[in-house]
Amino acid sequence: MKAEPTELEHALGYSFGNPQVLVRALTHRSLARESVQPKDGATGDNERLEFLGDAVLGLVVAEALFAAHPEWSEGELTRVRAQLVSREHMAVVAGAVGLGSHLRLSRGEDRGGLRHKATVLSNAIEAVIGAMFLDGGLDPVRAFVGRRVMGEIAEVLAEEVRTGAALGNYKSALQEHLQAARVGVPVYRVRRESGPDHRKRFLVEVRLKNAGEPGTALARGTGSTKKRAEQDAARRALEKLIAASSASGDAEEQAAT
Which residues have a catalytic role annotated?
A: 54, 126
CA distances 30 to 77, 96, 103, 104, 250, Å, are: 37, 24, 11, 9, 13
As a whole number of angstroms, the longest Cα–Cα distance in the chain is: 70
Is the distance from CB of 27 to CB of 99 less than 8 angstroms?
no
Q: How far apart are the first and last CA of the chain?
A: 20
CA dihedral 63→135→12→67, nearest 10 degrees, is: 10
Q: Cα–Cα distance between 223 and 231 in angstroms, integer?
A: 8
Q: Cα–Cα distance between 90 and 136 in angstroms, integer?
A: 21
Is the distance from CB of 94 to CB of 122 less than 8 angstroms?
yes
Provide the residue count of the chain. 257
Q: Cα–Cα distance between 148 and 132 in angstroms, integer?
A: 14
For residue 254, how many other CB atoms are within 10 A of its CB? 10
Q: Which secondary structure element, helix H or strand E, spans residue 205, and what is its range?
A: strand 201-209
